[in-house]
Structure 1
Amino acid sequence: MSSFTLSNSEVFSILFNGISEGALIVNKQQLIVELNDSAVKMFGYEIHELKGQHINILIPQKFHHKHEAYVKSFIKKKESRQMGVGRNIFGLTKSGKTFPLEAGLNPFEIKGEKYVMTLITDITKRVEAEQEILDLNASLEEKVHKRTKDLKSSVEELSELNDLLKDEIMRRKQAEARIKTALQKERELNDLKTKFLSLVSHEFKTPLSGILTSSTLAKKYTQTEQQEKREKHLNTIKNKVHYLTSILNDFLSVERLETGKFTYKFERFSLLNLINEVVYNANVTLKAGQIINYPQDLQDVELYQDRHVLELILSNLLNNAIKYSREDTTITLDINFDDKYLKFDIQDQGIGIPEKDQQHIFERYFRAENALLNQGTGIGLNIIKVHLDNLGGDIYFESQENKGSTFFIKLPIKHDN
C-alpha cells in the first residue's frame, strides 16, 4: 500500500500561483527557497537564477550589512511586520537598476525549519507621485513669493494673483487627496494580502502535519491483519488532502472571479442526479449520529446552468451545516421550484451566527467569532455570493446563536444567455 506525502515545494508553488505581487520565501540562512513569477519579472531574472541565491542578490550593495542584521533580528522575534517603516528601501534588478519598494514580512515554521515570507510591492509610481507633490508645492511657493512682491507695486494685480493662488491651491489639494487615497488603498491591499498569507500558512500547517504522521504510521502496518489500521491512516491522508485541495480551489476561484477570468460552462443536466450526488458526498463527512433529511420523492427537472458551480454551492453549504453542528443532529435540505426558479433551503441545528457578525458573513476572509476554533478560511460564502450574483440568483440567511442557521438560495432553472 503506497503512502502520500505533500512536499513543502509543492505547497509553496501552489500557494503563490494566484498572487499578483512579488513573493519570496527565504530560509534562516537568507537563501531564496521559493519565489513566484511576479517576483521574477520584477527583478528581471529567470527563476532558476534566483533559487538558492542569497537574498542580497536583490539588494543594493550598500544595504547588505544592515539588511542581514535586520533579518536575523526579525527571525529571532517571530512576528509579522512591515519592512522599511520610517525609511526608504530599494530593490536591485539583474540589469543593475534600483527601484523603491515596500515589503511585508511574515515568519513561519514547517517541520522545524524557519522561513520568512516576503510580499513585495514596487512603489515607483507612488514615489513619483509624491515627488510631483513636492515639485508642485515648490512651484506654488515660488509663485506666491513672486506675486506677493508684485502686489506691493500694483493693486490691480491683486485679483489676478488671487485667482492664480486659488487655482494652485485647488490643484494641490486635489493632488494631496489623490495621494492619500492611493496610500490608503495600498495599505488596505497589503493588509489583506498579509492576512491571506498568514491564513494560508496556518490552514496548511495542521493538515500537512497530519498527512506526515499518518503516512509514517501507515508504513509500520505491513501484516494482513493490520489492514484496518492502514486503512484508518490512509483515510486520514485522503481527507486532509481533500481539505487542502478544497482550500486551494477556493483561493483559485477567488483570484479568477476577482480578475474576471472565471468562465461559466452552461449545460443541461438532471436536478435529481445532482442532488443525489451532493448528498452522497456530504454523507461521507457526517459526524456520529448526524443525518441529512432531504426529499425522497423529488420530482425531476432539467436544468440549464453551470453544473459544477451549483454543485460547489450546495456542497459548501451542506459541509458548513455538518461542520458547525454537533453529533446526533439533523441537517435539512428542502427543494422547491416553479417554472422559472429553483429554491434551496439548508437548515442546521448548529452553533449559529452571532447577531453582531451577521452583517459581515459574506465578506471575504471574515469568520464569525464563535467559529474561529474550527478549520476554515472565511472565503466559501463569499465565493457562493459572487457566483449567485453572476448567475442571476440570490442568497440570504436566518440564524440564532446556539440554535442553528438556515440559508436560502434562489437560482434560475435556465440561465438566460
Structure 2
Amino acid sequence: MFQNNGRVFNVLFEAVSEGVIVVDKNQKIVGSNKSSENMFGYTKKELLNSDLSILIPKTYHANHGAHFEGFMKNKESRKMGRGRDLYGSRKDGTIFPVEAGLNPLEIEGETFVMTLVIDISIRKKQELELLELNTELEKKVEQRTDALSNIVKELKSVNLERDEEIKKRIDAQNKISNALKKEKELNELKTKFLSLVSHEFKTPLSGILTSSMLLSKYKLTEQQERRDKHIKTISDKVHYLNNILNDFLSIEKLETGKMNYKLTTFKLSKVVNEVVYNANMLLKDGQKINYPENIDDYSMHQDEKILELALSNLVNNAIKYSSENTIVDINISQDETYTTFKIKDNGMGIPLKDQKSIFNRYFRAENVLLVQGTGIGLNIVKSHLENLGGTISFLSEENKGSIFTIVLKNKAE
C-alpha cells in the first residue's frame, strides 16, 4: 500500500532537510529519505522492511516497545523523549544524540508513523563546550573572587594600619599642640604673675616704707594718734601681703596635689559669725551685712577652714566691689544632702564678655582693673570646693550686682 504511493512520498520526503523515517504499526520501516539514510549510514534498500530497532541503541530497546504502544493508542503528534536525552545508532555502531518528532498517518485505512529525526551532535557539542566554558568561567570567577577577597582583606588591613598611623600622628600633633598651648598659657601666667607681683607688692611696700619713715618723725607724746595711724597702715599692708603669699602657697599645693584637707564636724553658725566679724572691719561707710541668725541647727562634716576661706573671699569681694551705703546679703539653706550658700551684693557686677573667664587664675574683669586685687582668689576657692565635692556658680549684671552660689555636701566623702 505504502509503496504504491511511493512516488508521492518520495517527492515529499526529499523536500524535507530533516531525516524522515516511516514505520507501520509493527515498527517495520516502510519509507525513508536521503537525509535519514545519510544520517544513519544505511542505504534505502537496507532500511526498507527492517525493524526500527536497528536505528535505536541497544540500551534503549527494552523500553522502546512500551513507548511505541502508548503512542499508537493516543495517536497524537508529539516530540519523543520529553525530559530526557534521545540517541540514535548508526550502521557502524556509533551513537549520536537526536531530536525526534512523531506524527501518526492514516493511509487507506492503515496506520503509519512518520518520524522526523534531527542530528543534534553539533548542538550537543556546542552545549558541552558552553557548559565547560561556563564551568571554567565560574571557576575563574571563583578564583578572581577569592583573589579579590584576599585583596580586600589586605586593603582592610592596610587601611587599619593607615588609620592607626593617622590616629597616632593626630595624637602626636594634639600632644604637641597641647604642649604648645600649655607653654603659651604658662608664659602668659608668668607675665601676669610678674605684673601682679610688681603692682600688688610694690604698692603695699611703698605704703609700709612711707609709714615707717613718718613714724620716726612723731616722737612727742601728743603725736601718739598719728603714730597709731601709721602703725595700722603698716599692719594692714603686711596683713594684705601675707594673704597674697598664702594664696600663692595654696596654688602650689593645689597644683602638686599636696593639699591635705582636715575634715571635722562643726556648727555653721560658728563659721558664719567668724566670717562676718572679720568682714565688718572692711565695711565702707553705710555698708551693712545681712546674715541668717536661725542656723544654729545647721552643721557640716567638712574642712571648716576651707569653707571659711570660700565665704570670706565672696563676702570680701562683695564689700570691695560695692559702693558705700549698700547691703551684702548672706543666705543659707540645707537639706539632707547639701548646704547652699548665696552671697548677694549690689555692686558693679561683672561685664558679660568677662563672665566666662572669671574663675581663671590672675583674670580680672575690665571694670575692676583699678581696684586692688590679685585675680587668684576665686580660682583657689573653685579648686578647693571641687576637691571637696562642691560647686560654685554666679549670676551677674553690670552695674546691678552679683549673686555667687556655693553648693557643698553636708558630709565630705
Which range, TM-score by smaller chain?
0.5 to 0.7
Letter of the 1:266 counterpart:
L
State the distance in 2 between where 1:178 and 1:345 align. 40
Letter of the 1:288 counterpart:
D
Equivalent residue, structure 1, for 2:299: 302
Where do residues 168-187 of structure 1 align in structure 2 (5 Å cutoff)? 179-187=176-184
Deviation of the 1:401 alpha carbon: 0.6
State the distance in 1 between where 2:372 and 2:175 align. 40
Q: 1:223 to 1:408 in 2, by over 3 A?
A: same
1:391 corresponds to 2:385? no
Deviation of the 1:185 alpha carbon: 3.1
1:408 corresponds to 2:405? yes
Once the two structures are aligned, what percentage of the paired residues are identical? 62
Q: Is the 8 A contact 2:298 2:334 kept in 1?
A: no
1:191 corresponds to 2:188? yes
SS at match of 1:362: coil
Q: 1:234 aligns with which of 231, 234, 245?
A: 231
Letter of the 1:286 counterpart:
L
Equivalent residue, structure 2, for 1:263: 260
Deviation of the 1:173 alpha carbon: 7.9
Consecutive unaligned residues of structure 2, counting only runs of 5 or more, are: 1-154
State the distance in 2 between where 1:176 and 1:275 align. 50
Equivalent residue, structure 1, for 2:324: 327
Q: Is the 8 A contact 2:200 2:372 kept in 1?
A: yes
Deviation of the 1:305 alpha carbon: 0.9
**Larger radius of gyration, structure 1 or 2?**
2
Q: 1:188 to 1:273 in 2, by over 3 A?
A: closer
Q: Is the 8 A contact 2:268 2:295 kept in 1?
A: no
State the distance in 2 between where 1:294 and 1:207 align. 32
Consecutive unaligned residues of structure 1, counting only runs of 5 or more, are: 1-158
Question: For the aligned residues, what is the CA RMSD?
Answer: 2.5
Deviation of the 1:226 alpha carbon: 1.8
State the distance in 1 between where 2:406 and 2:377 align. 15
Equivalent residue, structure 2, for 1:219: 216
1:358 corresponds to 2:341? no
Deviation of the 1:297 alpha carbon: 3.6
State the distance in 1 between where 2:377 and 2:259 align. 16
Q: 2:373 aligns with which of 376, 380, 398?
A: 376
1:200 corresponds to 2:185? no
Deviation of the 1:233 alpha carbon: 0.9
Letter of the 2:341 counterpart:
F
TM-score (norm 1): 0.57
State the distance in 2 between where 1:331 and 1:314 align. 12
Equivalent residue, structure 2, for 1:16: none
Q: Which of structures 1 and 2 has the larger relative contact order (alpha carbons within 8 angstroms, sep 6+)?
A: 1
State the distance in 1 between where 2:200 and 2:310 align. 21
TM-score (norm 2): 0.57
Q: 1:227 to 1:384 in 2, by over 3 A?
A: same
Where do residues 61-76 of structure 1 align in structure 2 (5 Å cutoff)? none
Q: 1:253 aligns with which of 250, 253, 256?
A: 250
Q: Provide, for residues 312-343 of structure 1, a one-character-per-residue CA deviation record: whole Å limited to 9, x for no partner.
A: 00100011001000011111111221222221
Q: Provide, for residues 5-54 of structure 1, a one-character-per-residue CA deviation record: whole Å limited to 9, x for no partner.
A: xxxxxxxxxxxxxxxxxxxxxxxxxxxxxxxxxxxxxxxxxxxxxxxxxx
Q: 1:301 to 1:190 in 2, by over 3 A?
A: same
Q: Provide, for residues 261-313 of structure 1, a one-character-per-residue CA deviation record: whole Å limited to 9, x for no partner.
A: 11101112221111111100000111111111112343333321111101100
Equivalent residues, number: 255
